Each structure stands twice: as structure tokens, then as C-alpha cells.
Amino acid sequence: MSIVHIEDAAEFDAEVLDEKGKVLVDFWASWCGPCMMMAPVLEQLDAKYPDLKVVKVNVDEAAEPAVKFGIDSIPAFLLFEDGKVTKKAVGAMPIEALEQRLGL
């Protein structure tokens, strides 16, 4: 599965909240160095977990979902299961740490 890039709140609802199964959402921004460092980690997760949908939300382009879920620091990662948040991790980290924090 390839990483999905969200551009507005309606797309977020369709791709994340209405989705069955696990969806990992990365809240990021192009000016955020740690966010850029996490891009290859997300590519690895996408390849490693075929049942996990990976979605990226640029907080500058689609601010509504970030506000709705209380994102006040980026990069922030929310794991949704059947449209509900089950885990959260904040900050740049190696893949192993992110997997552990999200229970993957």
C-alpha cells in the first residue's frame, strides 16, 4: 500500500475516520526538520505492515484534523482502529521506538 497524502478535512474523514482496520496518521509540516527525518521511517512501516494504512497530514494545508485531535507538537503520530484513536506518539524516533509506542 502506498502512503496517502491528505489535503483537507473531508478527505481526512474518508481516508481515516471511515476506514476499517488500522490507520497510522502522521501530522507533519514541510518546515519541520524532525518531520522530514521521519519520512523514511514511515516508508519502512508502510512496506513492513501491509494491513496498516499510512496517511500523512500536512498541518499547514489541512489544519482542521490537527486542531480536532489536539495536535500541538509535530511530528505527531496517531494510530486509529476502525476510526477511533488508540495510540499516540510524538517526536522523531527510530522505527523500533515508534513500533513499540504504537503497539505494532
pTM above 0.85, yes or no: yes
Q: Grade residue 67 by pLDDT with cuts at 50, 70 and 90.
A: very high
- How many angstroms separate the Cα of 91 from the Cα of each of 4, 8, 10, 46, 49? 20, 23, 26, 18, 21
* Per-residue model confidence (pLDDT) at position 1: 66
Mean pLDDT of 37-60: 96
Average pLDDT, the chain: 95
Mean pLDDT of 86-100: 97
Q: Grade residue 8 by pLDDT with cuts at 50, 70 and 90.
A: confident
Choice among 4, 23, 35, 93 that is catalytic: 35
Mean pLDDT of 41-63: 95
Return the residue matching grid coordinates 476506514. Answer: 19
33 vs 7, higher pLDDT = 33
Q: Options 3.40.50.150, 3.40.50.720, 3.40.190.10, 3.40.30.10; which CATH number does 4-102 get? A: 3.40.30.10
Mean pLDDT of 83-95: 97
Mean pLDDT of 80-102: 97
- Catalytic, 32? Answer yes
- Catalytic, 62? Answer no
What values do phi and psi take at 90, rounded to 5?
A: -130, 140
Find out whether 56 and 88 touch, Cβ atoms under 8 Å.
no
Choice among 6, 16, 25, 32 that is catalytic: 32
